[in-house]
Amino acid sequence: MKFEHCIRCTICVENCPVFRVNPSFPGPKQAGPDAERFRSEKDKTVDHWVMLCSQCKRCDMACPCGVEPAQIILRAQQRYGSEHPRSAAHLLFANNFYLSRLGSVTAPLANRFAGAGIGKKILRRAGITTYIPFPEFSFKTMKKQTKAAGRGSRKVAFFYGCFINFYRPDIGARIIRLLESLNIDVAVPPQWCCGLPALGNGNLDLARYFARKNVASLSDYVDAGYDIVYSCTSCGLCLLNDYQGIMEIPRAKKIAQNAYDLHEYILRLIVEKDIRPAFGEVARCVAYHIPCHLRALKIGYPAAELMKMIPALECHLLDDACCGLSGSYGFKKTNEETAVQLGRRAVSLIRKTGAGSVVSDCGSCRMQLGGLSGMDALDPAEIICESLGIDVKGKKPAAR
């Protein structure tokens, strides 16, 4: 929040994916530091266009002066959200966690609804787009396991995130198997939505509610000697930055000090020579689309380092394009055109590499890029599991 450091160089604007394709959005400079000078505590906000920002954070990363326009806009979004009636889509997506819980419990029905013509019509009426298929709810969600069993060298508390939980628990199960195969014991603590969807839809109170519950649960695990491992880079960024930043959650620093990206964690153990995974050949050519929020984590690209260790794997790294979906952002009718145009750009970069499949850490990037390209979209953990022979059913390979 250092808007007075802005020298108006426009580098943020050049990096804004939304500005590039949507002329209604004035760009991060105007929506951020410029408008901030005119935001008064007394007057009701009128800057409705702040809601067009997708919070990809590319402006924060590009700014040479440390201004963080996305943070300024995020605060303006919360204020706008609290002062104006929210649209149906904003309300629904802020409560994504509860909605998904419902969807998952009624999975066969909910999926049929979302896939059918009438369902799509209702979704569109509510301001939700259907240009890519809505992800299918999984009836089975992640099973809690409050204590790590086994005698591994380390204990991990796995923060799986809503995407894995409600849509792809099979990936979650595989990640657990992967960690166990590396002699790590895994607990699956009680956990809630990280809060990012609520924040992104202008509901700071709900985001704080989720964050407090998560911090209470996870800090017990930290106290008991667990490392926290997250696999969704957006959940990770929220846990690390937003809990301490805009949400001001007490004890959040403790979580940030002990939370690791899954691939960062594995890479760390390899570098420290704690583990020596025997990577087998994976004869694939993949395009690794770096999620914007992984860039913002400032930890480099650890999954890329791991994939470099896999024999026969050809990996093309792409970090210049935002996929455009940005969680629930692209699912809103008002943002559909922006999301589709950005998605097509990202897909054209992927096609240029000649890769056979897309790899990305972020579930929503995979949804968008897989949906628009028709290609397989995989989590890097899936490639690593393939290399280590950890199969779909999660059979544990011989200890290495």
Partner 1 sequence: MSLIEYDAIVIGAGVAGLTAGTLLAEKGKKVAIVTAGEPTACLSTGCIDFCSNMDNPEEAIAALPAHHPFHLVTKTQIHEAFYDFKRRMAGAGLSYTGDTNRNRHVLSAIGTFKTTCLTPETMQASPQNEQENIHIITFSGLKDFYPGYIISRLKNASFSTYDAGISTTMGLASLFEDENFLETFLLWMEKQNIRENKIAFPAVLGLESASAVKKTIEHRLERPVFEIPTIPPSMPGRRLFNCLKDGFRRAGGVIYWDWQATGAEKSGRLIEAVITGSHGRPNSLNAKAFILAAGSFVGGGLRAGHSNIVENIFDLPVFTPGKREEWFEQDYFSVNHRIGRAGIIVDESFRPVEGPWDNLYACGAILAHVEALKNGCGHGFALATGRAAAESLLEAGR
Binding region for partner 1 (CB under 8 A): 7, 9-11, 13-15, 19-21, 23, 60-66, 240-241, 244-245, 253, 255-259, 264, 267-268, 271, 295-296, 298-302, 305, 317, 320
Of the two residues 305 and 376, which places its CB atom closer to partner 1 in the complex? 305
CB of 65 to partner 1, least distance (A): 7
Q: Which long-range contacts (CB under 8 A, 24 or more apart) does 140-147 make?
A: 140/169, 141/104, 141/165, 141/166, 141/169, 142/169, 142/172, 142/173, 142/188, 143/188, 144/188, 144/189, 144/190, 145/186, 145/187, 145/188, 146/187, 146/188, 146/189, 146/190, 147/187
Nearer to partner 1, 65 or 102 (CB): 65
For residues 269 and 228, is the Cβ–Cβ distance under 8 A? no
Q: How far apart are CA 40 and CA 326, in angstroms?
A: 29
Q: Which is nearer to partner 1, 173 or 359 (CB)?
A: 359
CB of 344 to partner 1, least distance (A): 11
Give 220 or 319: the residue with its C-beta nearer to partner 1: 319
Least separation in angstroms between CB 23 and partner 1: 6
- Residue 127, CA distances (Å) to 17, 131, 229, 335 in order: 22, 12, 35, 10
Smallest separation (angstroms) from partner 1 to the CB of 300:
6
Identity of the residue, 298 or 400, whose beta carbon is nearer to partner 1 in the bound complex: 298
**Closest distance between partner 1 and the C-beta of residue 15, in Å?**
7
Q: Which is nearer to partner 1, 296 or 362 (CB)?
A: 296
Query: With respect to partner 1, which residue has the nearer C-beta, 156 or 296?
Result: 296
Classify residue 283 as exposed, middle or buried by CB count within 10 Å of its CB (0-12, 13-18, 19+): exposed
SS3 call for 279: coil
DSSP character for 126?
A: T
Strands (DSSP E) found in the chain:
154-159, 184-187, 227-230, 259-261, 285-289, 314-318, 357-359, 376-378
Half-sphere exposure of 215 (CA within 13 A, CB side): 24
Beta-strand relationship, 285-289 and 357-359:
parallel
- Number of residues assigned to the chain: 400
Whole-number minimum distance, CB 68 to partner 1, in Å?
9
**Smallest distance from partner 1 to CB 237, Å:** 10
Structure tokens at 340: 């589709």
Of 173 and 218, the one with the shorter C-beta distance to partner 1 is 218
How far apart are CB 368 and partner 1 at their closest, in Å?
19
